[in-house]
Structure 1
Protein backbone atom coordinates (compact mmCIF):
# COMPACT_ATOMS: atom_id res chain seq x y z
CA UNK A 1 0.00 0.00 0.00
CA UNK A 2 3.07 2.23 0.17
CA UNK A 3 2.81 3.21 -3.49
CA UNK A 4 -0.95 3.64 -3.78
CA UNK A 5 -0.82 7.41 -4.26
CA UNK A 6 1.90 7.11 -6.91
CA UNK A 7 -0.12 4.44 -8.74
CA UNK A 8 -3.24 6.64 -8.60
CA UNK A 9 -1.27 9.56 -10.06
CA UNK A 10 0.10 7.32 -12.82
CA UNK A 11 -3.43 6.14 -13.67
CA UNK A 12 -4.68 9.72 -13.78
CA UNK A 13 -1.75 10.73 -16.01
CA UNK A 14 -2.56 7.82 -18.31
CA UNK A 15 -6.12 9.14 -18.55
CA UNK A 16 -4.79 12.59 -19.47
CA UNK A 17 -2.63 11.07 -22.21
CA UNK A 18 -5.58 9.09 -23.60
CA UNK A 19 -7.82 12.17 -23.64
CA UNK A 20 -5.05 14.20 -25.25
CA UNK A 21 -4.50 11.56 -27.93
CA UNK A 22 -8.20 11.10 -28.65
CA UNK A 23 -9.01 14.80 -29.02
CA UNK A 24 -5.55 16.16 -29.99
CA UNK A 25 -5.59 18.68 -27.16
CA UNK A 26 -1.96 19.24 -26.16
CA UNK A 27 0.90 16.90 -27.13
CA UNK A 28 -0.92 15.54 -30.16
CA UNK A 29 -1.67 19.08 -31.33
CA UNK A 30 1.96 20.32 -31.13
CA UNK A 31 4.45 18.06 -29.33
CA UNK A 32 7.36 20.53 -29.27
CA UNK A 33 5.33 23.38 -27.79
CA UNK A 34 3.58 21.04 -25.35
CA UNK A 35 6.90 19.68 -24.07
CA UNK A 36 8.22 23.18 -23.44
CA UNK A 37 5.03 24.31 -21.69
CA UNK A 38 4.82 21.20 -19.51
CA UNK A 39 8.48 21.31 -18.46
CA UNK A 40 8.33 25.04 -17.69
CA UNK A 41 5.15 24.55 -15.65
CA UNK A 42 6.53 21.65 -13.62
CA UNK A 43 9.85 23.43 -13.01
CA UNK A 44 7.99 26.59 -11.91
CA UNK A 45 5.91 24.67 -9.38
CA UNK A 46 8.94 22.70 -8.14
CA UNK A 47 10.72 26.02 -7.56
CA UNK A 48 7.59 27.25 -5.76
CA UNK A 49 7.66 24.12 -3.58
CA UNK A 50 11.38 24.56 -2.90
CA UNK A 51 10.79 28.15 -1.81
CA UNK A 52 7.92 27.08 0.45
CA UNK A 53 10.01 24.30 1.96
CA UNK A 54 12.94 26.67 2.46
CA UNK A 55 10.70 29.16 4.25
CA UNK A 56 9.26 26.43 6.46
CA UNK A 57 5.77 26.72 4.96
CA UNK A 58 5.52 23.32 3.21
CA UNK A 59 6.11 19.98 4.90
CA UNK A 60 5.89 16.42 3.68
CA UNK A 61 2.93 14.62 5.17
CA UNK A 62 3.55 11.11 6.43
CA UNK A 63 1.06 8.56 5.21
CA UNK A 64 1.04 4.87 4.40
CA UNK A 65 -0.16 5.61 0.87
CA UNK A 66 3.14 7.22 -0.21
CA UNK A 67 6.42 5.52 -1.12
CA UNK A 68 8.54 7.47 1.35
CA UNK A 69 11.03 8.32 -1.40
CA UNK A 70 12.14 11.94 -1.44
CA UNK A 71 13.86 14.02 -4.10
CA UNK A 72 14.98 16.60 -1.56
CA UNK A 73 14.16 17.15 2.10
CA UNK A 74 10.37 17.49 2.47
CA UNK A 75 9.85 16.92 -1.29
CA UNK A 76 8.40 13.47 -2.04
CA UNK A 77 8.76 11.86 -5.47
CA UNK A 78 4.97 11.86 -5.77
CA UNK A 79 5.03 15.67 -5.91
CA UNK A 80 6.67 15.60 -9.35
CA UNK A 81 3.94 13.28 -10.65
CA UNK A 82 1.25 15.44 -9.07
CA UNK A 83 2.65 18.63 -10.58
CA UNK A 84 2.93 16.95 -13.98
CA UNK A 85 -0.69 15.84 -13.70
CA UNK A 86 -1.76 19.34 -12.64
CA UNK A 87 -0.02 21.01 -15.58
CA UNK A 88 -1.16 18.36 -18.08
CA UNK A 89 -4.76 18.59 -16.88
CA UNK A 90 -4.68 22.38 -17.16
CA UNK A 91 -3.30 22.31 -20.69
CA UNK A 92 -5.79 19.65 -21.80
CA UNK A 93 -8.58 21.83 -20.38
CA UNK A 94 -7.22 24.89 -22.21
CA UNK A 95 -6.98 22.86 -25.42
CA UNK A 96 -10.56 21.67 -25.03
CA UNK A 97 -11.84 25.15 -24.15
CA UNK A 98 -10.25 26.71 -27.22
CA UNK A 99 -12.04 24.18 -29.42
CA UNK A 100 -15.47 24.94 -27.99
CA UNK A 101 -17.70 27.21 -30.04
CA UNK A 102 -18.01 30.71 -28.64
CA UNK A 103 -21.78 30.47 -28.53
CA UNK A 104 -22.28 33.76 -30.37
CA UNK A 105 -24.94 33.48 -32.99
CA UNK A 106 -25.69 29.88 -32.09
CA UNK A 107 -29.20 30.72 -30.91
CA UNK A 108 -31.58 33.33 -32.19
Structure 2
Protein backbone atom coordinates (compact mmCIF):
# COMPACT_ATOMS: atom_id res chain seq x y z
CA UNK A 1 0.00 0.00 0.00
CA UNK A 2 3.05 2.22 0.28
CA UNK A 3 2.95 3.13 -3.39
CA UNK A 4 -0.72 4.12 -3.65
CA UNK A 5 -0.20 7.90 -3.56
CA UNK A 6 2.59 7.75 -6.14
CA UNK A 7 0.40 5.56 -8.36
CA UNK A 8 -2.47 8.06 -8.08
CA UNK A 9 -0.12 10.89 -9.06
CA UNK A 10 1.15 8.92 -12.07
CA UNK A 11 -2.41 8.13 -13.20
CA UNK A 12 -3.28 11.83 -12.86
CA UNK A 13 -0.20 12.82 -14.85
CA UNK A 14 -1.28 10.32 -17.50
CA UNK A 15 -4.64 12.07 -17.64
CA UNK A 16 -2.88 15.40 -18.18
CA UNK A 17 -0.92 13.87 -21.06
CA UNK A 18 -4.13 12.53 -22.65
CA UNK A 19 -5.83 15.94 -22.40
CA UNK A 20 -2.71 17.67 -23.68
CA UNK A 21 -2.47 15.35 -26.68
CA UNK A 22 -6.17 15.55 -27.49
CA UNK A 23 -6.35 19.35 -27.47
CA UNK A 24 -2.66 20.19 -28.20
CA UNK A 25 -2.47 22.31 -25.06
CA UNK A 26 1.13 22.28 -23.85
CA UNK A 27 3.73 19.65 -24.79
CA UNK A 28 1.84 18.65 -27.93
CA UNK A 29 1.70 22.27 -29.07
CA UNK A 30 5.21 23.55 -28.35
CA UNK A 31 7.33 20.80 -26.74
CA UNK A 32 10.58 22.72 -26.15
CA UNK A 33 8.84 25.71 -24.60
CA UNK A 34 6.66 23.38 -22.52
CA UNK A 35 9.68 21.47 -21.20
CA UNK A 36 11.40 24.69 -20.15
CA UNK A 37 8.27 26.07 -18.46
CA UNK A 38 7.59 22.80 -16.65
CA UNK A 39 11.19 22.39 -15.45
CA UNK A 40 11.40 25.99 -14.24
CA UNK A 41 8.05 25.66 -12.45
CA UNK A 42 8.96 22.39 -10.72
CA UNK A 43 12.42 23.70 -9.79
CA UNK A 44 10.88 26.85 -8.31
CA UNK A 45 8.50 24.85 -6.13
CA UNK A 46 11.19 22.36 -5.07
CA UNK A 47 13.37 25.28 -3.94
CA UNK A 48 10.30 26.76 -2.21
CA UNK A 49 9.75 23.43 -0.41
CA UNK A 50 13.42 23.14 0.59
CA UNK A 51 13.36 26.67 2.01
CA UNK A 52 10.17 25.89 3.91
CA UNK A 53 11.69 22.67 5.25
CA UNK A 54 14.88 24.51 6.24
CA UNK A 55 12.84 27.11 8.13
CA UNK A 56 10.81 24.43 9.88
CA UNK A 57 7.56 25.43 8.17
CA UNK A 58 7.07 22.30 6.05
CA UNK A 59 7.45 18.72 7.23
CA UNK A 60 6.65 15.28 5.91
CA UNK A 61 3.46 13.73 7.20
CA UNK A 62 3.44 10.05 8.09
CA UNK A 63 1.08 7.86 6.07
CA UNK A 64 0.96 4.28 4.82
CA UNK A 65 0.06 5.47 1.33
CA UNK A 66 3.53 6.90 0.55
CA UNK A 67 6.69 5.04 -0.43
CA UNK A 68 8.80 6.45 2.40
CA UNK A 69 11.57 7.35 -0.06
CA UNK A 70 13.07 10.74 0.78
CA UNK A 71 15.00 12.86 -1.73
CA UNK A 72 16.14 15.18 1.06
CA UNK A 73 15.22 15.43 4.74
CA UNK A 74 11.43 15.90 4.90
CA UNK A 75 11.14 15.88 1.06
CA UNK A 76 9.37 12.70 -0.12
CA UNK A 77 9.71 11.35 -3.65
CA UNK A 78 6.00 11.92 -4.22
CA UNK A 79 6.41 15.68 -3.74
CA UNK A 80 8.29 16.03 -7.05
CA UNK A 81 5.53 14.16 -8.88
CA UNK A 82 2.88 16.27 -7.15
CA UNK A 83 4.67 19.48 -8.16
CA UNK A 84 4.99 18.20 -11.73
CA UNK A 85 1.25 17.45 -11.78
CA UNK A 86 0.48 20.87 -10.32
CA UNK A 87 2.55 22.70 -12.95
CA UNK A 88 1.30 20.54 -15.85
CA UNK A 89 -2.33 20.97 -14.76
CA UNK A 90 -1.87 24.73 -14.45
CA UNK A 91 -0.43 25.03 -17.95
CA UNK A 92 -3.13 22.81 -19.47
CA UNK A 93 -5.85 24.90 -17.80
CA UNK A 94 -4.16 28.16 -18.83
CA UNK A 95 -3.75 27.10 -22.47
CA UNK A 96 -7.25 25.60 -22.61
CA UNK A 97 -8.80 28.79 -21.24
CA UNK A 98 -6.72 30.87 -23.66
CA UNK A 99 -7.89 28.74 -26.59
CA UNK A 100 -11.55 29.05 -25.52
CA UNK A 101 -11.32 32.83 -25.10
CA UNK A 102 -9.53 33.21 -28.43
CA UNK A 103 -12.13 31.05 -30.19
CA UNK A 104 -14.97 32.99 -28.53
CA UNK A 105 -13.52 36.33 -29.65
CA UNK A 106 -13.09 35.13 -33.20
CA UNK A 107 -16.69 33.91 -33.40
CA UNK A 108 -15.73 30.23 -33.45
CA UNK A 109 -13.17 30.54 -36.26
CA UNK A 110 -9.70 29.18 -35.67
CA UNK A 111 -7.08 31.91 -35.59
CA UNK A 112 -3.57 31.54 -36.90
CA UNK A 113 -0.78 31.66 -34.33
TM-score by length of 1: 0.94
> Which position in structure 1 is the counterpart of 2:100?
100
Secondary structure of 1:71 counterpart:
strand
Deviation of residue 101 (structure 1)?
3.2
Distance in 2 between the 1:101 and 1:60 partners? 40
> Which position in structure 2 is the counterpart of 1:31?
31
Which sections of structure 1, spanning at least 5 residues, go unmatched?
Answer: none
Which sections of structure 2, spanning at least 5 residues, go unmatched?
Answer: 108-113
Q: Deviations over 1:24-50 (max 9, x none)?
A: 000000000000000000000000000
> Which position in structure 1 is the counterpart of 2:111?
none
> Which position in structure 1 is the counterpart of 2:58?
58
Match status 1:16 vs 2:16: yes
TM-score by length of 2: 0.90
Distance in 1 between the 2:71 and 2:27 partners? 27
Moved over 6 A (4+): none
Q: CA 1:51 to 1:25, structure 2 compared with 1: closer, same or farther past 3 Å?
A: same
Distance in 1 between the 2:83 and 2:20 partners? 17
Deviation of residue 71 (structure 1)?
0.1
Q: CA 1:105 to 1:76, structure 2 compared with 1: closer, same or farther past 3 Å?
A: closer
> Which position in structure 2 is the counterpart of 1:84?
84
